[in-house]
Amino acid sequence: MIPAVRNLGIFAVALVALFGLAAVAGRLLDPDAPVGEADADHSNGHSKEMKDMTSDNVRGLAVAENGLRLVIDDPELRRAAAHELRFRIVDREGHAVRDFDVEHTKRMHVIVVRRDLTGFQHLHAAMGPDGTWSTSLRLPDAGSYRVFADFSHEGRPTTLAGELRVDGAADLQALPAPQPVATSDGDYDVRLAAGAVRPGRETMLRFTVTRDGQRVAVEPYLGAGGHLVALRESDLAFLHVHPVERSNGGSIAFAATFPTAGKYRLFLQFRVADRVQTVAFTQEAR
């Protein structure tokens, strides 16, 4: 009898393991399946360290968090065509949330970027009476894109992420090597001074804008000297950064904590002559 009991016990353990693997596979294949908050960070199939799961410095890895969920009306887009991106933030009962806090002068910030960290766009959507947010969007290149809904609700900052897909073969680009100087889309030179960047330690990122070798005084943008989005290369984790008061020299400073070693893409936006400029840097933490 003892061998039979032992065999039954082994069979029961095997069944439990099998059902556990099936549940995990189902979650990866169907990221929109209902999940509890404990499982929400796995809804996009990303593998993350436990530190990232609880850190306030990392957001945007899940479609659902803090009892809220991002619902995109139509994630399938045609290349180079004009679209209206429509989405809602819903609560646990599926009701659209309509009360958002003002953060950086807006109630909702929408970030769109391709998986290879190209094609960055920062959009400001408008909310309709039914709680649906909408904004115009045109994506000229094929591929898979991450869309971030960055907002604050009841005093709690939250960043939810979903996927957009653009038809066609994607010509993915390698992440550029780190360089101290980059040029904005309006031909302003921007220098980044960061010093040694260590994982888990707060770092001061200071950007200085020049043209023809002369410093340029930037205008206020979104309630600060500029706006910075930092994304991790491996999984496009969205890092929370804090703007710091501008110095007399016209530089723009942010405090950021890079949670893990690796490469990050920094997207800085600033305003000069009433026009918003965008410039990107690669930053490595090690």
Q: What is the pLDDT of residues 169-225, one digit of tens each?
A: 999 999 999 999 999 999 999 999 998 999 999 999 999 999 999 999 999 999 999
**pLDDT value, residue 64:** 98
Same domain, 142 and 227: no
Q: How many CB atoms lie within 10 A of CB 117?
A: 23
Query: Which residue range is the domain that position 241 belongs to?
Result: 181-285
Residue-level pLDDT at 57: 74
Which residue ranges of the chain lie beneath pLDDT 70? 1-56, 246-250
Residues 61 and 132 in one domain: yes
pLDDT score recorded for residue 129: 97
Q: Is residue 23 part of a domain?
A: no
How many structural domains comprise the chain? Answer: 2
Q: What is the pLDDT of residue 195?
A: 87
- pLDDT given for residue 246 in this prediction: 60
Regarding whether 268 and 195 lie in a shared domain, the answer is yes
Answer yes or no: is 202 within a domain.
yes
pLDDT at 247: 56
Are both 162 and 185 inside the same structural domain? no
pLDDT score recorded for residue 54: 39
Residue 127 lies in a domain: yes
